[in-house]
Structures are given as C-alpha cells and as structure tokens.
A and B are shown apart, each in its own frame.
Chain A
Amino acid sequence: MTEDSFNSTDSSTDRNANTDARADGGRYLSVDEIPETAPVADRTWSERIADAVPSKRRGLKYVIAITIALLWIVPFIGLVMASIRPLSEIIGGWWHLEGMTITFENYYQAWNHSTAPMGQALRNTFIVTIPAVLVVMLLGVMAAYPFARFEFPLKRTLFFLILLVMAAPPELVAMGNYNALREFGLFDTYMGLILVHIGWGLGWVVLFLRNYLLGIPKELEEAARIDGASRYQIFRTIILPLSTPALVSVAVIQFTWVWNAFFFPLVFMRSPELYLAPQALPLMRGRVQVEWGLIAAGSIMTMAVPVILFLLLERYYKRGMVAAVAD
C-alpha cells in the first residue's frame, strides 16, 4: 500500500479482500497496514478558502478588535510622525503625507536642548531607576520568602499592613515624605527619590513575590534541608533561581513605574540639572510656539527604554505573571 493513497480505490479493495479471510472481521489493522504518514486530505483551493472565511459572528468580533487596536495605536503613530518631520509640516496635521520630509533633527535638538537636555535627563533617570529596581527586587524577595514559608508572630497583621499601605494614594504620602526628606537632608537628592521609590514599590513587590513563592513546591525545600542545606543556602541556591521569572516581572513593572514617574520627581527634585526625563519633557515646549517635534522626539526616546526592556524580557515576564496570579 502506498503512503499517500490511504483512501484511494485500489487500497480499499485490498483491505476488503483481506478482511474476508480474517477472523476478527477486519476490525484490527495489522502493523504493516499502518501508513508512515497521516493521510492527506485532498481539498481544492476554493474549499480551503471557504473553510477559512470566518462566520458572521466571528467576523464581527474581528472588526471590533481591530478597530480598538487601531484607535489605540493612532496617537502613537502621530507621535512618531511628529518626531521625524519638521515643525512646518506637523502644524498642518501629521496625517498629511504629501511632501513628507523625514529628518532626525528633532531628536538631535531634543538630546542637546538648552533648558531641558534630553541626553542628560535620560542619564539622570537611569541613575534613579536602576538602584530603585534592583534594591526592590532583592529586599522584596527577602521579605516575601518569610511571608510565604515561615510562621512568626503577627504574620497576618504585618501582611495586612503592607496591603493597607498600598491602598494609600501617592499624593497623601508625598506630604509626609517631603517633610521627612527635608529633615534627613535628602531633599533634592537622588538618594531621597530612590528611597521613596523603593518604599513605594516594596508593597506590591512583596505581595506579588509572596504569591509566586507559594507556588514553589515545599518538597523542594524539604529535600534541600535533608540534603544538608542551611536556610540561607536554600534561599540562594533553590528559591532565588526558581524565582527568576517573577523577579523579571517585578523588574519590568517596577522599572516602567519608576522610569515614567512624574509626580515623585516633581515633588522631590528641585534643581533643573537633576531633572529626570518625564520632568524635562514639558520644559521643551518653547516660549513663542509649541515645539511639537521636540516634545514628540523626547517622548519617543523616553518611552523607548521601558519598551525595549519589555521586549527583551517578555518571555520571562509572561511566565512570571502567569505563575504569580495562578492559583
């Protein structure tokens, strides 16, 4: 029997001829009758296209989904267009495509702007964001582990307190933080801003990582205890490596949050040379007319960083998110 003709006429007559002689009535195929590959359905092109066309209901869903996606992305396309065209062309509306000139002049000017140099502002933002993210990850997992595994007095109360703090609006906390930073002489310093971001981030990070750690089987730690590992060794060699997806998720979310934060830098940073990117953007507006091109280019540069980070870490990020919210 040939491979590709499972349902062709000559093979079926073969089979019928066989069954007559067999006691099992042809219900079972002998091994040599089983084809190497799955039978190929021979359908014409028109049949395939007809099968692929969605039903009306499904088609309607697609239309709605695509519309929402377009609405969502249109402002972003406008931003990109504005950033790569001269101001004279943008004024008439970015959607006019005739006589379009592509230039990176806006990016160059924004990077070296006199009152709000984007290059400096982005560097400043990195200086604040990287420690604020790394410290939150480390402290967060160290705080989450006991909440996930150990029994200690006031465990539930403490955890409830953490959740409670998360519910407070930043505007409310800012007042107290402002006074505290002044007292400690940390006002208008990156150290002060980083500390505020760490404190603010720890709440959700502990909650998120605790949920993730609860999903790591207890047996792994028990096995490690039997194997002779100390608590610290277990944490470092078992818990930390296994938390990588969750830690990546935390890093991405915290990075985006700190990077894009406008309110905290606005309140706690006074010196213009220390300004962070989100603070610097509004300063590029210009005196006489609004410099749309510069603002657009600055915005693109600012948002590019978290987007690139997300794209690089997307695979881990997804795994971490799924595991932390599942069960």
Chain B
Amino acid sequence: MGESALRVWYMTAISMDGVSKYFDAGNTVANYQLNLEVEDGEFLVILGPSGCGKTTALRLIAGLEQPSEGAIYFDDERVDGRSPSERNVAMVFQNYALYPHMTVAQNIGYPLKVRGVSPDDRDQKVATVTELLHIEDQVDKKPAALSGGQRQRVALARAIVREPSVFLLDEPLSNLDAKLRQEMRIELKRLQNELAITTVYVTHNQEEAMSMADTVVVMNRGTIQQIAPPQELYKRPRTAWVARFIGSPPMNLFRGTRRNGSIDLGEAGTVELPGKIDADEAVVETAGQDDASTASVVANSARDDVAVGVRPEDLTVSTTRPSSGNVIEGRVETVEPMGEYILLNVFVNDQIVNAKLSEWTVEKDERVYLTFDDDDAYLYDDGGELVA
C-alpha cells in the first residue's frame, strides 16, 4: 500500500508460527498449522467458506482465544497467552456488539474510560472520530435508534478511537444491504489508507476480499490454502479448491486421464494442451533429481489422473464444431440471463459446465461446442495441486 499522509499511529507486524487451535478436548480442529505474516500497515483479508476457521484465526490474533500450539508475534514480541487488552488490538464484530444501554458517545468513549483517560481528553477524541466517520449528529442516540450503516460506523469509531496497533474486523459488512455494503467497503478502505493501520479482515465474500485486500489468505477446513494478492489469486489459484472458490460462477473442472501427450476427458473429448503437459514433465524431472525414488512414486500417481480447469469467462461457445483447438462437446441445460452476461449451464458427460455469453445465441437442449485457449487452462494433479 502507498504512503499515507496521516501516518499517525505506530504499526505492528503480525506473525503466526505454526498456530493450531483445537476445541472439545482435541476433537474439533478449528485451525491447523497456520503460518502467516502480516506486514506493517498491510490490509490482509482472510477469505473462506463458513466453518473454515477464519474467525477462530482472527480471535487468536485478538487474544479472545489462546492457541493450542504455535506462537503469535506482534513485531518481535510473543503475544500468545496475553489478554486482548495487553495486545492493544481493536476489533469490530459481525453484529457490531455495541453496548445497548450506552449512547453512541458512551460506546465510543468506553475503551478510553476503562483505561482511565480523563473525560476531557475522551470527549475530544470521541469528537475527532465521530467526525472522521460522519456520525457527529448521532452521538446522543442509543444504538437501537440507529440504522445498520450507522451502527457499523459507531463500531468502527469505537475500534479506532484508542489508536490500536492492530485492527481486526470479523465479517463487518455482512449485516448490511448490498448498496450500503458497497459504500462501507469504500469507506473502510479509505479509513485504512488514512490511518495506515495493520488490518486483518475476515469475510466469506470474495468480492469484498478481492476489492479491499493487499493480500488475501484463502482458508478451508482450518488450513491456509493460498496467500496471494487478489489478482494473482484469480490468475494462479494454487489448488483446485481455490480455483473453484475464487470466481463466480466457479471455474469448471474436467476430470481426465493423461495419455500419450494429450488429456482424455472421456466422452467430452480430448485436449492437447502442449505447453501444460511439457511443464508438468519438467516439474517431475527436476523433482526426480533431488530424490529419485519418492519423486517417481509421486509422479506416477500424479501423472495419470488430472483435472483441467477453465473459467466460465474463458470458454467460447459455438453451435458448429470448430476444426481445431481444445473442444468440449455438450448440451445446453439452462440459459440464465444475468443482466451483464448470460450464463449457460451445459451438460457435458455427467457434469454441469458453466459458460458466460454476451449475447443470447443458443437455446435450451441445443448441442454446443466449448473451446478454450491453452493459456486459459489450468492443469491440476489428482491431489488438487496446480501443475501448470
């Protein structure tokens, strides 16, 4: 992120080193072996489906939970075992967690009050942040009298008023309607830019993650799947799972078998993918030089069963069979007009394949041919790892 004009607070880098968290006496694994670095002033988004452990990861950083294994550092200081107040973190909760019996001003001033800040200083700081978040007119109201967006702003104000070194947000926008969410997204990003504060933001909404993050951490089933800037996440999803998770509608995956320099996709057809297959072999060979015996075992199992991934937007649809290129044959199942594009569900073999169309050129039950460029295809081995 860029240099900010208002770099007022000292920032903190966060690092998680092999952090695991178990619940129910070890019967539930919430997080397993998380390794994560968040730089000073970075906007990091943890993205994953519900139940993937992203909120637990955030709570571990906050100090609301303590790790079962591993260590957490703020800068070079080890902080696991410390309480939230000793870590100087601020957090915004999904349902805002505003104190219902206090006015807006009292809510925002609460962290200062419990720290023994004098009433005059408190009032002044509350005035500054309410102005920053445009809620100066609401300070005497109780949270129940506020709209969703205003509550959100109060929660943000309460979090930043005491100048925390780390700013944590747990699905802060999920209770807002779509238009307000868009607005708050911009607001949040502006705030983070101005304050240049290290931020960890948890969401299940990939649009939020992609639009706001400097770095996105994709999590699934308690583990980190990939850490990458948003664009790279889309361009080079490291596993088949990430590939399916990022992008809407998700990437199409065709199961197939490698045979004689091409990939057999069963009844759907055969694709060549010259560049990809070469790369695959190159990888296996270099691995083989290090440790021949294990590499060959891995290579053998990885070689035969593969998956070819193509994003819906990279598929070209035609009603006549193209003479060359990678062609997959199918039957149109449904045509869904989405406004900006038309979504085709094509029945290929025994699976549904999504394709995006700009014009309504095909009808239901029509036979269509889907083509794609070699460069737009992703090759995954049977472990779901990206080969090329």
Contacts and interface: CB of A to CB of B under 8 A. Distances in A.
Interface of A: 217, 219-220, 222-230, 233, 237-238, 241-242
Given A224-B110, A229-B114, 13 more contacts: A217-B95, A217-B97, A219-B93, A223-B91, A223-B98, A225-B83, A226-B62, A226-B63, A226-B89, A227-B114, A228-B115, A229-B110, A242-B101
B271 to A, nearest CB: 50
Contacts of A242: 100-101
25 contacts: A219-B95, A222-B64, A222-B91, A223-B91, A223-B93, A223-B97, A223-B99, A223-B158, A224-B99, A224-B110, A225-B64, A225-B83, A225-B84, A226-B63, A226-B89, A227-B110, A227-B158, A227-B162, A228-B85, A228-B114, A228-B115, A229-B85, A230-B114, A237-B110, A237-B114
Interface of B: 62-64, 83-85, 89-91, 93, 95, 97-101, 110-111, 114-115, 158, 162
Interface centre among A227, A229, A237, A238 (most CB of B within 10 A): A227
B101 A222 contact: no
B64 A220 contact: no
Nearest to A223: B97
B97 A220 contact: yes
Contacts of A224: 99, 110, 114
Contact of A226 (B64, B98, B99, B100): B64
Nearest to A240: B101
B84 A226 contact: yes
Given A225-B83, A227-B111, A228-B115, A241 B91 contact: no
A222 B97 contact: yes
Nearest to B88: A228
Contacts of B97: 217, 219-220, 222-223
B64 A241 contact: no
A320 to B, nearest CB: 14
Contacts of A227: 85, 110-111, 114, 158, 162
A contact face: mostly helix, strand, loop, or mixed: helix
Nearest to A219: B97
A222 to B, nearest CB: 5
A220 B99 contact: yes
A223 B159 CA distance: 9
Contacts of A225: 64, 83-85
Contacts, number: 55
Nearest to B92: A223
Nearest to A221: B97
Interface centre among A219, A228, A241 (most CB of B within 10 A): A228
B248 to A, nearest CB: 30
Nearest to B161: A227
The 8 tightest CB contacts between A and B, nearest first, are A227-B111, A219-B97, A228-B85, A223-B97, A229-B114, A241-B101, A226-B84, A226-B91
B247 to A, nearest CB: 32
Nearest to A244: B101
A105 B84 CA distance: 68
Contacts of A229: 85, 110, 114
Contacts of B64: 222, 225-226
Nearest to B155: A223
A223 B110 CA distance: 10
Contacts of B158: 223, 227
A322 to B, nearest CB: 16
A226 B114 contact: no
Contacts of A237: 110, 114
A225 B111 CA distance: 9
A226 B96 CA distance: 13
A226 B101 contact: no
A238 B91 contact: no
Contacts of A223: 91, 93, 97-99, 158
Contacts of A230: 114
B143 to A, nearest CB: 11
Contacts of B115: 228
A226 B167 CA distance: 11
Contacts of A219: 93, 95, 97
A238 B99 contact: yes
B92 to A, nearest CB: 9
A241 B101 CA distance: 7
Contacts of B84: 225-226, 228
B114 to A, nearest CB: 4
A230 B114 CA distance: 8
Given A238-B99, A241-B101, A242-B101, A228 B93 contact: no
Nearest to B93: A219
Interface centre among B83, B110, B162 (most CB of A within 10 A): B110
A230 to B, nearest CB: 8
Nearest to A228: B85
A226 B85 contact: yes
Nearest to A222: B64
A219 B99 CA distance: 10
A242 B97 CA distance: 13
A108 to B, nearest CB: 46
A136 B139 CA distance: 36
A193 B111 CA distance: 44
B321 to A, nearest CB: 44
B331 to A, nearest CB: 38
A222 B85 contact: no
A152 B110 CA distance: 29
Contacts of B93: 219, 222-223
